[in-house]
């Protein structure tokens, strides 16, 4: 008898896995007396306007009004446990009774790869899980970007600007150049011609002397009116020295962002931001870092406060069930 009871409880605990398995092949799985899980394709019109081609994805909802027994779940359980259809139906009834008791106590019921059920004002609320079994065949597929033509046009290369050179003009008198040249020639001749020599005899009257050539009369340099000018290029000096001020080191602080979407480029992020703000998310903004552009709804400095807000945000907005928390240092 104890063996049969253990087998009965084990079979009942496997009912959530039968629900998750059936959702991979069927669009509607009914749990008699509880409700029905309905699979529908996710609308991708807004995403396509962002310039991204995403993989196919299904959305999972719950309808508490559909409670009749279509035999789908009972047949799956009977086939797996090798029980009769009547025994499988009894297992489902016991499972549904246990779920309703937990909901009446205010507890949440989690169904792996499906989601969680809650009771609020006598209404059953359903929160889809992050990993849904109805998307199992799309596992591993990722979206890719379809940029606009304006985004991929080649931009003209930007070259660094060359610094202008300052030209200083130094006037030089032409007569002054001739005057200095004649003096240099005289000094050179004096160095070449030897000094006076004698033949070594004291009584000799013939003495040889070195003669100097006549120099032109000295001329006073004229005014610098007709003087040619010589251009000398000198590197430009900045008019004022730039004084660098060093700011004191600031202590790095962390911020926590509630992320609702990730985009591959700035153009797609701006379009997505406009769409989110039009739906009532007035605090939404774009966070760009490391070539990634993310849309966030709120920002916190306290981690516990951010986690509490994220849980409530997912409950209030089931369509944003995949929202997540990003920690980033300033």
User: Per residue in 173-204, pLDDT tens?
Assistant: 666 777 777 888 888 887 776 655 455 444 44
Q: Which ranges in the chain are annotated with CATH 3.30.70.1070? A: 253-329
Helix (H, G, I), strand (E, B) or coil at 191: helix
Q: What is the second-level CATH architecture of the domain 253-329?
A: 2-Layer Sandwich (3.30)
User: Per residue in 298-321, pLDDT tens?
Assistant: 888 898 998 999 899 888 888 888
Q: Does position 32 have pLDDT exceeding 90, yes or no? A: yes
Q: 72 with 29: CB under 8 angstroms?
A: yes
Q: Which residues of 53-66 are buried (b: 16+ CB within 10 A; e: fewer)?
A: eeeeebbbebeeeb
pLDDT band of 161, cuts 50, 70, 90: low
- Measured over the CA atoms of residue 36, residue 41, residue 43 and residue 44, the dihedral's sign is positive
- Across residues 33-40, what is the average pLDDT? 94
Q: Is the pTM of this model over 0.85?
A: no
User: Per residue in 123-159, pLDDT tens?
Assistant: 889 999 888 888 888 777 776 676 666 666 655 566 6
pLDDT band of 268, cuts 50, 70, 90: confident
Q: Cα(141)–Cα(60) distance, rounded to whole angstroms?
A: 19
Q: Which helix (H) or strand (E) holds 169?
A: strand 166-171
pLDDT band of 91, cuts 50, 70, 90: very high
Question: Which of residues 173 and 229 earns the better pLDDT score?
Answer: 173
């Amino acid at each position: 008898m104890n063996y049969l009871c253990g087998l009965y409880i084990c079979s009942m605990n496997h009912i959530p896995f039968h629900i998750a398995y059936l959702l991979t092949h069927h669009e509607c799985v009914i749990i008699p007396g509880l409700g029905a899980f309905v699979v529908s394709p996710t609308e991708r019109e807004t995403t396509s306007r962002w310039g991204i081609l995403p993989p196919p994805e299904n959305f999972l909802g719950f309808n508490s009004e559909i409670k009749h027994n279509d035999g789908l779940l009972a047949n799956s359980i009977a086939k797996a446990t090798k029980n009769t259809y009547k025994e499988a139906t009894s297992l489902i009834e016991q499972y549904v009774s246990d779920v309703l008791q937990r909901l009446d106590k205010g507890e949440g019921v989690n169904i792996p790869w499906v989601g969680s059920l809650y009771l609020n004002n006598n209404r059953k609320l359903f929160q889809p899980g992050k990993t849904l079994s109805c998307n199992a065949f799309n596992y591993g597929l990722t979206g890719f970007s379809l940029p606009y033509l304006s985004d991929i046009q080649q931009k003209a290369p930007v070259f660094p600007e060359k610094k202008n050179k300052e030209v200083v003009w130094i006037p030089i008198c032409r007569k002054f150049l001739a005057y200095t040249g004649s003096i240099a020639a005289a000094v050179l001749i004096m160095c070449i011609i030897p000094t006076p020599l004698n033949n070594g005899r004291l009584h000799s009257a013939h003495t040889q002397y070195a003669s100097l050539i006549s120099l032109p009369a000295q001329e006073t340099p004229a005014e610098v009116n007709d003087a040619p000018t010589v251009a000398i290029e000198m590197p430009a000096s900045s008019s004022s020295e730039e004084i660098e001020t060093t700011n004191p080191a600031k202590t790095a602080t962390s911020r926590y962002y509630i992320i609702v979407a990730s985009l591959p480029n700035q153009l797609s992020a701006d379009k997505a931001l406009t769409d989110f703000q039009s739906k009532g998310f007035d605090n939404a903004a774009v966070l760009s870092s490391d070539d990634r552009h993310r849309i966030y709804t709120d920002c916190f400095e306290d981690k516990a406060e951010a986690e509490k807000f994220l849980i409530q945000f997912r409950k209030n907005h089931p369509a944003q069930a995949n929202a997540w928390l990003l920690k980033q240092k300033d």
